[in-house]
Structure formats: structure tokens, C-alpha cells
A and B are shown apart, each in its own frame.
Chain A
Amino acid sequence: MRKKGWLAGFVSLVLIAGVVSGCSGGGSKGEAEGVAGNAKAASGGVVKLKMWGGVPPEAGPQEVVDAWNKDHPDVQVEYVRYVNDDEGNLKLDTAIMTGQDVDLFVNYSASQAAKRVASGATADLSSFTDYNIDEKMGPEAADWKIDGKYYGLPTTKSSFFVALNKDALDAANLPVPKDWTWDEMREYAKKLKKGDGYGFIQNTEPFVDPIDSVLSKEGYTKADGASNLDHPLVRKWLESLYGMMKDDKTTPPLGEQLTSKMPVEQMFLSGEVPMLNIGAWLLRSSNNFTDYPRDFKIAFAPVPRLEEDAANYVTRGGLGDYISINAKSKYQKEAWEFLKWYADGGMAPMAAGGRLPASMDADQDAALKSMLGDKGDTYDQESLMYVMFDNKTPTFVRTVPQEVMDLRSQEYEKYFLGSQDLNATVAAMVSRHNEYLKSNPK
């Protein structure tokens, strides 16, 4: 008797739980639809689009959508900011997967874009025939084709460069290089180093680019399918950076940089360190004289190459800010209209943060003007034009999966920290990469 009662109680509990969860699930869905429907009805057929991006609204996006919204009362765009880190991308992916309102979203890396394409979250843009992406964006757009198709529109020219303190270079009688090798850069760093200071610092984002430059050209895997992370130039990169950290003391030891979250932009802009390996987003800080007062001119050099032969070199760059349309969005056509407008010039206010439009129809001069603002004469414009537009070195877009990025960085961190020697580091990178390749066949 007693046992039966317990059982009955439990069963009824499960049933209640089932009913409750069923109700709540169904209920919330119905509710959401109700709200969407109401919103549309109440505002007289106004379409509301949500665009998710990683740039803080005040750094351009708000101005962009405000401009659009003023001219298009029937299609209103709302900008939602997600932080472009693990948590932020997870938030965006969850929103997409659970069908929350995401109509457009910006992908900042090819591997993230590929994941979203695989999940079916991105609309195939080839169904829109009124815009020739290859023609508008140039040959570099093809780097963003996934399985031969565009599932997004690359909108910006991304440039990576070494920012130089022109005054410090002039004082040391060093020219602004237009093409230089890693070894030459190392010499510059030695000559520019003052006392206990550093000669060269790097933002952690492009830190590993020299390896990717080599491998995107030579292949991440060898002909037999095994990892190519033991390429001689990978070794060279490891060795020369190690030398700069330990022997020359011209660049901060990696462990110190990581755990103190070294503010590299600030160190460069305050004149403390004369060379900074970074990308166009530096402009966001270097135009901001309130937080980063500066009394020197900034010049720009391409990222130095490990390759001896300049003809073999590819540099990171190409296009970026790959904007996709959610395949489940109800307003794909409207989203597409907005996206075209954005790419062809609507995005101009983004230039202040270093994001130059890639489209040939966009007004480059206006964008450049908005990028430099009233600070134009604090830059060496000739070298700026060179690294952003005139440098004809072929480019690559980083496509390495996060897992491979991480396994590499974990191993080279051990090397730069002196707890693992060069051979062991290369061997560990190769074996872990091979393991990854085995469990994730293409």
C-alpha cells in the first residue's frame, strides 16, 4: 500500500512536470509569435530588423543605423552589440539557434562563419542576383567563400601592420620600411630599445600571424596529410621571438604580457614602446587624444616576413566583417537591402574605428577622412596609404579552427616561458595537431 502510494505520487509528479513544461514551452512560443504579430500590426507594417555586431554602438554602428532609420521609416534596424569573445559568440549562437530575433550578424572569423554555415543559420546570398559580390569587393572576397558560395558579405578592408613611432625612428636615423624581414625588424627593435624598455610589442590578436602567413601559403598539412607545424619557418619564428624575449630583451616575455594583460596600445601611444604589431583597430585609440594623449607622428610598415623571398610572402589582410543574414529571418529581403546599403557606403561612420569599406562603390576618400578625423597630420599619411591601399602583397584570411589556435598557443607559451625546449615544442604541436586532424576529418 505504502509503496504504491509513493509510486503514484511520483508518476503524477512526472506527469505534472511534463504538462507544465509542455505548457510553458508551447505557451512561450505562442506568446512570442503574438508579440511579433502585434508589434507589426501596431506600428503599421514597419519591419524591425536586428543586427548583431561586435563593435560598441558608439564607435560607429549607432550612427549607421540612425542614418538608415531616418531614410527608411518602414524598415527600422536595431543594433545589438555582442562582445566578440567566447561568451559573446556563444550568446549570438544561442540566439540564432533558439530563434530569437537575429536578422543580420557580423562574423569576425572564418572559422566561426563556417560553424554557422554548417548549422544552416546563414542564408545563401547567391539567391540575391542584384549584387555581384566578386565584382564589388574585388578578388579578395573569394577568401570568404564557404563551399564555393557566399553566406555573408565581407564588408571591410582589414589591414594589419606594424605601427611605428616616426619621431623615434627619425631620431635613430631609421627609414620607414616598405618591405622588411623578421630579422630586419629584430635589428630595428635593438636599435630603438631604450634602457629597460622594449623596442617591439605585439597585440595578442595578430601575434601568431607569421605562422599562419607561412602555412596558408605552404599548407597546414603536408602532402601525406600530416601536420605541417614543423615547417622550418615555424621554428624560425619561435626561435627569433624567443631570442627577442630572452637575449635582446626587446619584446616582453609572453607570460608577463598575458598575465598582466599588457595594455599594448597604451604603451605604444604614450611613446613608451616605438613599434607595435597590430591592425586597423589601432585607429580607434590613436584618434582618441583624451584617453591616449600623444606627441609623436605614427608611421606604418607592413608586417615583417619570415620568408627570405619577398615574392613568396602573403600577409594577413584581405576583407573582414563578414555579415550574414539569418536563414530563419522572416525579413531576408529587407535585411539584404540594408546590407547592400551598408556595404556600399552606409558603413562610412565605422571608419573612425579603422573599418574602411571594401566595396568599390563606397567613397574611399570620405571614409579615409572620417577615419583620420581632425588628427590627419599626426599620421604619416604616405605610409598609411601604403599599408592600407597600395601594398600589393597577396593576402590571406585566417581560417584555422579555434582548437588548433589553442593547441599551438598552449605549446608555444610553454616554450617562450622556458618550460619546454624548441624541439619538444614543435613535436608537441605536431602531435596534437595530428590528433586533432584525426578526430576531425574534413
Chain B
Amino acid sequence: MNNHWMRRQRRLGYVFIGPSMIGVLLFFLIPAAFSLGLVFTDYKFMNPKAGFVGLDNITRMLHDKLFYQSLKNTVLFLAAVPVSIALGFVVAVILNQRIYLKKLLRALYFMPYITSGVAVAFVWMLLFQPKQGPINGFLRSIGIEHPPGWLSTTTSSMFAIDIIWIWFLMGYNMIIYLAALQEVSPELMEAAKIDGARPGQLLRKIIWPLVSPTTFLLLVTGMIMTIKTFGIIQATTQGGPGNSTTILSLYVYQNAFRYYDMGYAATISWALFIIILIITAIQWIGQKRWVHY
């Protein structure tokens, strides 16, 4: 009797998750499986002649200089994540104090996150303009004769993109940290203060460990988000100059939708998936050392 009831319950459960499972299946799992199949073909969109090519795409990828260049650029791009987390934390701690215009500042810092990416890209392109842009204008006025070319040289472009991305992510990180800081129990802080802890010690020994789960969350989601994104680069440099800002996700996009080379694009996107998986796994294992729940 009880058993029967359990079974019915379970069946009912499937009915409830069914609709969303169908969505996942149709729009995620089946396409993903399909793309895995594409890895072994030379399928080109618009070209009906697709054949099985075995591991050709994988060998091609392993010999593709542009693939490694994009990989390197992706790593440089990922460097933006920890920086934006650190800055977000600092800003959140400051805004958590009693300061003037707190609400306004909070809103201002969060603005980038809710602004349209294309608009953001355009404004930054104007700011970064090497000759007439305000950033270099400022740098020249304080005596730097040869300010960097920002987006316009192959050596500085990736860092310029990093700056945009840090600025973009920081507001979000700050909001999440602000919420986490509310959770830091005043009793602990007070006890530490009575014991004579200085503000720096409070920050390091009390606040930072207590928000470490938040840091971990931001790190994992930030990495995944960063590795997947390419809109900001597509809108600013399209991967150039040269191929100095082509990150893997953009390289996938170009192969798929510029060259219609779906087989190769699928191969790189699976490589990208494996990379995300490995990075996340490392973070997951590493968290035991520094995340305190």
C-alpha cells in the first residue's frame, strides 16, 4: 500500500518535471549530441555534401596555430575574473559602511551590468581612441608621451578588452558581495573588536572567510560566463587587430557563422566545453582549501 503510493508519487513527479525536461532535451541535450556527431564530419552549412572524416577535425585543431592563439587569448581574458572579484569585494566593503550617497553609488556601480553590451562597446571604443580619445588625452596631459594604443595594437588589445570586461563584471560582483556582507553576523565582528582586532584584521580574518562561499560562486560562474562570452569582442574588435583578441568562443562563432564550417566549429566548441569542465573541476577541488561554509 505504502509502496504503491510511493510509486504513484514518483510517477507524478515525472509528470511535473516533464515539460521542462522536454525543453532541456529538445533545445540542449539533442543539439549537444548532434554537435558531438558533427565533430567527425566535414559538414558545412549550405553544402549538402557532408562526409564522415574521422578524427580529421581534431588533428586539424591540434595543428591550428590560431587555435592556440585563441586559447592564449582566452586565458588572458579569464584573468579579468579574479580582478573584477577583488575590486567588487573592495567596493562592496566600502559601500557597506556609513557613507554619503551610498544608494546612488551602488546604482552607478551596477549600471554597466544592465546596460546593452553594444552600447557599452561603443562607448569604450570612443574612450580608448588612441588619438582623440579622452583616456589618452588625460594620460598625455599628465605627461605620458606615448600612451598605449589600447584596442588598436596587437599587444595591448587584449588588456583593453580585459579592462572593459572587469568594469562590466564588477557591478554584479559588488551586488552579490553586498548581500553576503549583510550575512556577516554583527556578533562576530563585535567580539573581534572587543578582542582588539584592527580593521585590516577584521577584513582578513572575519569578513573574507565568511564571504568565501560567495567568492567561490562568483569565481565559478564568472569563469564560465567569461569563457562563453564573445559579444563584447565581436562588437569592438571582431577578434583583431591581427587575431590578437580572438578568444575561443569567438573562434567557434567565426568558423560556424562566417565560414559555415560547422564540423570544425563543433570540434572547437567541444574542446571549449572540456576546458570549462576542467577549470571548474579544479576550482571545485581547490575550494576545500579556502572556502568556509
Which residues of A pack against B, CB within 8 Å? 1, 5, 9, 12-14, 16-17, 20-21, 86-87, 90, 93, 97, 115-116, 118-121, 253-256, 258-261, 402-403, 406, 409-411, 413-414, 417-420, 439
Contact = CB atoms under 8 A, between A and B. Distances in A.
B242 to A, nearest CB: 4
B51 to A, nearest CB: 14
What is the interface residue range for chain B against chain A? 35 or more
Contacts of B22: 13, 16-17, 20
B48 interface: yes
A260 B153 contact: no
A414 B241 CA distance: 7
A411 B48 contact: no
B259 A261 contact: no
A417 B153 CA distance: 6
B258 A402 contact: yes
B152 A93 contact: no
Interface of B: 3, 7, 10-11, 14, 18, 21-22, 25-26, 45-48, 60, 125-126, 128-131, 149-155, 157, 236-237, 240-243, 254, 257-260
A403 B251 CA distance: 12
Nearest to A418: B153
Contacts of B150: 259
A214 to B, nearest CB: 23
Nearest to A409: B240
15 contacts: A9-B11, A16-B18, A20-B26, A21-B26, A90-B257, A118-B47, A258-B237, A259-B241, A260-B152, A409-B240, A410-B240, A410-B243, A413-B240, A418-B153, A420-B242
Contacts of B237: 258-259
A260 B125 CA distance: 6
B152 A253 contact: yes
Query: Nearest 5 pairs between A and B by C-beta?
Result: A255-B152, A414-B242, A259-B151, A119-B46, A419-B154
A21 B125 CA distance: 45
Contacts of A93: 45-46, 260
Contacts of B7: 5
Contacts of B125: 259-261
A369 B253 CA distance: 44
A197 to B, nearest CB: 12
B46 A411 contact: no
Given A253-B152, A414-B242, A417-B153, A13 B130 contact: no
Majority DSSP secondary structure for residues of B touching A? helix
A255 B125 CA distance: 12
A291 to B, nearest CB: 19
A319 to B, nearest CB: 23
A75 B119 CA distance: 42
Contact of A87 (B14, B241, B257): B257
B140 to A, nearest CB: 14
Contacts of A259: 125, 128-130, 150-152, 157, 236-237, 240-241
Contacts of A254: 241
A409 B21 CA distance: 45
The interface residues of chain A, by DSSP majority, are classed as helix
A419 B153 contact: yes
A256 B131 contact: yes
A17 B257 contact: no
A411 B241 CA distance: 9
Given A12-B14, A256-B152, A413-B241, 6 more contacts: A253-B152, A258-B237, A260-B125, A414-B154, A414-B241, A419-B154
| Interface-central residue, B11, B155, B240, by most chain A CB under 10 Å | B240
B11 to A, nearest CB: 7
Contacts of B11: 5, 9
Contact of B10 (A5, A418, A419): A5
Nearest to B29: A17
Given A9-B11, A13-B18, A115-B46, A439 B241 contact: no
A121 B47 CA distance: 10
A253 B241 CA distance: 12
Nearest to B25: A17
B121 to A, nearest CB: 11
Contacts of A116: 46
Given A5-B11, A21-B26, A417 B241 contact: yes
B260 A115 contact: yes
A254 B3 CA distance: 74
A407 to B, nearest CB: 9
Contacts of B240: 258-259, 409-410, 413
A254 B11 CA distance: 64
Contact of A411 (B47, B153, B242, B258): B242
A116 B44 CA distance: 12
Given A5-B7, A13-B21, A120 B48 contact: yes
Nearest to B245: A259
A65 B139 CA distance: 54
B23 to A, nearest CB: 10
Nearest to B128: A259
A112 to B, nearest CB: 9
B45 A417 contact: no
Nearest to A97: B46
A255 B129 CA distance: 10
B46 A118 contact: yes
B257 A86 contact: yes
A419 B131 CA distance: 19
A349 B22 CA distance: 51
Contacts of A12: 14
Contacts of B46: 93, 97, 115-116, 118-119, 121
A17 to B, nearest CB: 5
Contacts of B48: 119-120
B14 A255 contact: no
Contacts of B14: 9, 12-13
Given A115-B47, A119-B47, A419 B18 contact: no
